[in-house]
Structure 1
């Protein structure tokens, strides 16, 4: 081989090695299963089997609000980042809404930490500073992280998190990796890595409840990524079922069960046929026999119609929707139940601080085997 050609090949090999080392140092490769730190302050009570819980889930879209149509939205708008003023307003409003609703557990998605687009804020920390008296326990997990993404719309760092806040003690937590979209080896390093954040809350009788928080992939390409993620979540829930561990799941599933414009029909059917999403007002069955058929699993708390950022448009939801807790049935200790959650609109003057709506539901904390045939619909 001629000497000049050898030098060219050697230079190419060195350049490829340096590029690989650079990409490796800038990106994040989580394990399939990782233990996570849990922060609890003071003496925190444990859950009691049978007690009722109010759970809220909310995709906060890094506190951007509704004034933007971003480049990665379905509408592919021109905006790349929100202003500091809009994020500060949304932060205060999110804290106010959570205080108004007083959920026992809050499941949050798309909180930024160290991202260029949100001015490198630690948004969970900022929110906790406003809610420190309500939620002594918390845990968090990244589902997108890189020191640099060479996209012209980003061209900097990304850091996106799931977070769970709880009034009750979290014993331990873990991050479970979900399937990621197929891509070449280089671009795959910079993509989001959707996951499930599992928090284990101890029960006073020695058991525990698993609280799952997730954000599934948005179906933008004709592939099976969303279906694969739904299948992975189903397997996780099956393992809890096999162990007799009560569970609750919530988050942004990016599924549209009542619309056909996006989402995966197979994935929607696979997830919703096993679970019951908190239903909008008017969709709760009135027939007690139909209600009873819906109580065999803890109720997942999820936004069934995830909204994108941007101005008001037909079909969008511009107000926070939360449930009105129903009366508790007259059961003995350990068998407290609630009827299906009804969603009610807030006061007319309440501004809506985020592009995606919050959903809350009242659920029961029953251990397996506590149901009876004459109970109302449970969680």
Structure 2
């Protein structure tokens, strides 16, 4: 082989290796199971046997609000907006704090909080909330599910950082991040993609045992892929394991899935985002769900809608995507979706439920 050609090939190989190293350095590679970031301040009370417990789950859509149609909000990626204004971020932070202070849930599961993302001016949105809610929530756990120093997508062209957060009035003893199965994509694209997860927090119960609180945000439906089924199978395995061990648990989050019966209520333009036969059955056939099937699929289902898409063809909430599943050992007292004054804060609405813990044995 001529020396010039040999040098050229070596140069190309060196450049390729350098590019691979650069991409690896810019992207995030979490373990399948790892400790989650946990912080508690002061002498924090423990959960009491037999007490009532108020839980809220809310996808905050990174405090963007409802005045936008983002590029990903339309099926063909043609939404005109790429980021919210600073003014809207500040306004929606105020609105979230208002709602949380009025509701004062004991446990608050939040999804789509940003940290270090170019689209939201590199805010640490959990820190901004903590500054305003520190008197209510001395304990927090958090776990990223999208993180990269640079994403070359022209709509992003910068850093991303999206996390799950659980805020608690009660002590969190430990927390873990469990990696969920990933959407299958081309290897390079997959490196930059979100990595969905379960945030699992353990709240000690006075007298012994723990309340396990799980927070998640599952992938959306993708035609030709079974990622939702694989993620639900892992969730189901976690819940089954907790049940076998006799643990008390609850799971709250954005599952990106319709309950049975809602598909045909959607406008035709919205149906492509969901399978007609919902895989959510893998959970609701085995564990209590909020809302119940008769609520989410019955004549009053509109009161249980938790999603108001950023699509100009939709002028009101029209589907349920957010749920709380819970241990049969927890007794549901009441539940509702706060719709009346939250329609402009996020494309999701807060789901609230109250439970009674079992008494001490």
Answer whether TM exceeds 0.5 for this pair: yes
Distance 1:285 1:117 in 2: 36
**Closer/same/farther in 2, CA of residues 94 and 343 from structure 1, 3 Å limit:** closer
Q: Paired residue for 1:328?
A: none
TM-score between the two structures when normalised by the length of structure 2: 0.86
1:273 to 264, 285, 308: 285
Q: Name the stretch that deviates more: 87-96 or 39-48.
A: 39-48
Distance 1:285 1:72 in 2: 28
Structure 2: any 5+ residue segments left out of the alignment?
264-270, 299-303
TM-score between the two structures when normalised by the length of structure 1: 0.82
**Offset of residue 24 of structure 1:** 1.2
What is the number of equivalent residue pairs in this alignment?
338
2:274 to 238, 263, 268: 263
Q: Name the stretch that deviates more: 50-59 or 257-266.
A: 257-266
Distance 2:310 2:73 in 1: 7
Q: Name the stretch that deviates more: 65-74 or 162-171.
A: 65-74
Q: CA-atom RMSD, angstroms?
A: 2.8
**Closer/same/farther in 2, CA of residues 118 and 343 from structure 1, 3 Å limit:** closer
Q: Paired residue for 1:16?
A: 16
**Closer/same/farther in 2, CA of residues 344 and 40 from structure 1, 3 Å limit:** closer
**Closer/same/farther in 2, CA of residues 52 and 311 from structure 1, 3 Å limit:** farther
Distance 2:11 2:25 in 1: 21
Distance 1:105 1:45 in 2: 13
Q: Are the aligned partners of 1:254 and 1:304 in contact in 2 as well (CA < 8 Å)? A: no
Q: Are the aligned partners of 1:209 and 1:245 in contact in 2 as well (CA < 8 Å)? A: yes
Which secondary structure state, in structure 1, belongs to the residue aligned with residue 181 of structure 2? Answer: coil
Distance 2:313 2:52 in 1: 35
Q: Paired residue for 1:353?
A: 345
Distance 1:340 1:147 in 2: 43
**Closer/same/farther in 2, CA of residues 18 and 43 from structure 1, 3 Å limit:** same
**Residues 2-151 of structure 1: pairs in structure 2 closer than 5 A:** 2-75=2-75, 76=77, 77-151=79-153
Q: Deviations over 1:102-145 (max 9, x none)?
A: 11100000000000000100000001111111001001000000
**Offset of residue 365 of structure 1:** 2.3
1:341 to 332, 335, 340: 335
**Closer/same/farther in 2, CA of residues 181 and 367 from structure 1, 3 Å limit:** farther
Distance 1:43 1:309 in 2: 42
Distance 1:117 1:214 in 2: 22
**Closer/same/farther in 2, CA of residues 117 and 367 from structure 1, 3 Å limit:** farther
Q: Are the aligned partners of 1:146 and 1:157 in contact in 2 as well (CA < 8 Å)? A: yes
Which secondary structure state, in structure 1, belongs to the residue aligned with residue 253 of structure 2? Answer: strand
**Offset of residue 340 of structure 1:** 4.4
Q: Deviations over 1:277-302 (max 9, x none)?
A: 3228982899xxxxxxxxxxxxxxxx
**Closer/same/farther in 2, CA of residues 228 and 367 from structure 1, 3 Å limit:** farther
**Offset of residue 310 of structure 1:** 4.8
**Closer/same/farther in 2, CA of residues 146 and 168 from structure 1, 3 Å limit:** same
Q: Are the aligned partners of 2:64 and 2:89 in contact in 1 as well (CA < 8 Å)? A: yes
Structure 1: any 5+ residue segments left out of the alignment?
287-302, 324-334, 371-379
**Closer/same/farther in 2, CA of residues 91 and 322 from structure 1, 3 Å limit:** farther
Q: Deviations over 1:305-327 (max 9, x none)?
A: 54433558245269xx999xxxx
**Closer/same/farther in 2, CA of residues 280 and 94 from structure 1, 3 Å limit:** farther
